[in-house]
Amino acid sequence: MDTEQNSASYLRQDPVHKSDDQWRRELTAAEYAVLRQAGTERPFSGEYWDSHTQGMYQCRACGAELFTSNAKFDSHCGWPSFFAPLAEDRVRYIKDRAMGMERIEVRCAKCDSHLGHVFEGEGYDTPTDQRYCINSVSMKLVPGETA
Ligand SMILES: [Zn+2]
């Protein structure tokens, strides 16, 4: 995990820029509140927290491929959890002190929409000891082989 602004070859390649009005028109109210206003869906309420379907998780706002089911694990925290993104340049990290504690926000590198947060060192039995805690409403699962 690189918390400095990643040099994001993927981002520079083809960034998505839309006005706030465009996002409001294209997204549902729930999607907009999370993706564009950094909201958080209620735990255990989303579509994917308990999903074991194989496939690719894409950004709900721009369609960028972000995570695969291969890196998803059962954290029992109420949100879909991944131990790594599809590739480091798919996401960008922003230090977030909004809740009075320092957290690291995860955004889509392509359209800069809010996805969730990443936590480290919690002791989950995963290859990275990181938990990308991502809102279901920020993603769209495209079922299929991921290997
Ligand atoms: Zn996106």
Interval 20-48 mean pLDDT: 97
What distance lies between CA 140 and its chain's CA centroid? Answer: 11
Architecture of domain 10-143 in this structure: Beta Complex (2.170)
Interval 63-68 mean pLDDT: 97
Please, which residues bridge with residue 57 across strands? 67, 141
Distance 95 CA to ligand 1 centre (A): 19
Distance 60 CA to ligand 1 centre (A): 7
Token readout for 69 is 């089911």
Which residues are close to ligand 1, an ion, with C-beta < 5 A? 59, 61-62, 64, 108, 110-111, 113
- Per residue in 98-142, pLDDT (tens digit) is 778 889 999 999 999 999 999 999 999 999 999 999 999 999 999
Please say whether the beta carbons of 57 and 68 come within 8 A. yes
Interval 15-31 mean pLDDT: 96
pLDDT of residue 14: 77
Residue 36 in this model has a pLDDT that exceeds 90: yes
Q: What is the mean pLDDT of the chain?
A: 92
pLDDT of residue 4: 47
Token readout for 134 is 């991502």
pLDDT of residue 118: 97
DSSP, collapsed to helix, strand or coil, labels residue 35 as helix
Position 59: which residue type?
Answer: C
Distance 29 CA to ligand 1 centre (A): 17
pTM for this entry: 0.89
pLDDT of residue 10: 59
Token readout for 41 is 């869906």
Token readout for 76 is 């029992």
Where in the sequence numbering do the catalytic residues fall? 133
Distance 139 CA to ligand 1 centre (A): 9
- Per residue in 84-101, pLDDT (tens digit) is 999 999 999 999 887 788
Neighbours of 115 (CB within 10 A): 30
Label residue 7 exposed, middle or buried (CB < 10 Å: 0-12, 13-18, 19+): exposed
Name, in order, each residue with C-beta under 8 angstroms of 28's C-beta and a sequence gap of 6 or more: none
